[in-house]
Amino acid sequence: MKLGFIGCGNMAKAMMGGIIKNNIVEDADIMVSDLNNSALENAKNMYNVQTTNNNINVVKFADLVVLSVKPQFYATVINEIKDSVTEDHIIITIAPGQTLGSLGKAFGEDRKIVRTMPNTPALVGEGITAMCCNKNVTKEEEAVVLSILSGFGKAEVVSENLMDAVVGVSGSSPAYVFMFIEALADGAVAAGMPRDKAYTFAAQAVLGSAKMVLETGKHPGELKDMVCSPAGTTIEAVRVLEKEGLRSSVMEAVKACIEKARNL
C-alpha cells in the first residue's frame, strides 16, 4: 500500500509522523508534494519520505491520496489531478465544507472518496479524526483508511450529516482549549506563580481531566461533582463560571463554528 500527500503543511506532517511511527505504512511507501521546497526538505529530513513538486507524480505513485491543502485550493488541485485519478485510487480529504457529493462531481461519480476531519493534536499522536465514505469505497477499504487515520490518534466512522458538528466539537476546538489553558495560567500568574509553571499545571490538569472522561466512562458532570466539596473552593469557582456564562459561551462558539463550516 502506497500513500501520497498533496500538500505538506502541519497536518500532513503530523499524519505522516504518526503513520510511520506506528508502522502502518513504511516511509519508502509515502510521497508528498508541495510547491514549497523548504517544507519538502523538512519532511524528507524528518520522515525520510519521497518528495516532489508535481502533484500528478503523487497520484501516479500512490494507492491512497490525501488532499492536505487548504479548502480554497481544492478546486485548482482537483482540476489538475482528476484525469490521473483512477477507479482504484482512494482520495482522502481533510478540509471542512467539502462534501462527498461535491467531491464526487469534481472527480467523477465512480471515484472512491473518503471525507475526514482530523485535528491538530495529531501532532502529538492524540488526534481525533472523523471519517465517512462514498458508496464506491468497500468495507475492506474503509477499514484500511480507518487504520491509517488511527496512526495519529483515535478515528471513528460517522454519518456525513455529522461532519460539520465534528468541525465544531473537535476539528476547531483545540483553539478553544488552548484559550482555556492560557486563561487558567493567567489566573495563576496573577496569584504569583511563574508563567512556565502556570502553563505546566494548567495543561496537565486539562490533560488529566480529559483522560478521566475517556477512561472512567463517567459523565463529565459526575466527575465535576466529585471535585466540588460542600462549601469548598471548587464549587465557589464553578459558581463564578456559571455566573459568567462559560457553558453558553462555549456552546455558542461551537454553534458558530458549525454554521461557518456549513457555509464554506
Res. 123 pLDDT band, cuts 50 70 90: confident
Whole-angstrom distance, CA of residue 134 vs CA of residue 138 = 9
Tell me what pLDDT residue 144 has. 95
- Interval 64-84: pLDDT, tens: 999 999 988 999 999 999 999
- Interval 166-205: pLDDT, tens: 999 999 999 999 999 999 999 999 999 999 999 999 999 9
Task: Please say whether the beta carbons of 24 and 153 come within 8 A.
Answer: no
Residue 139 above 90 pLDDT?
yes
Task: Please say whether the beta carbons of 174 and 121 come within 8 A.
Answer: yes
Structural domains in the chain, sorted by start: 3-159 (3.40.50.720), 171-262 (1.10.3730.10)
Res. 104 pLDDT band, cuts 50 70 90: very high
Residue 137 above 90 pLDDT?
yes
Give the predicted TM-score (pTM) of the model. Answer: 0.90
Tell me what pLDDT residue 264 has. 80
Residue 46 above 90 pLDDT?
yes
Average pLDDT of every residue of the chain: 96
Average pLDDT in the 238-245 region?
97
Task: Please say whether the beta carbons of 228 and 235 come within 8 A.
Answer: yes
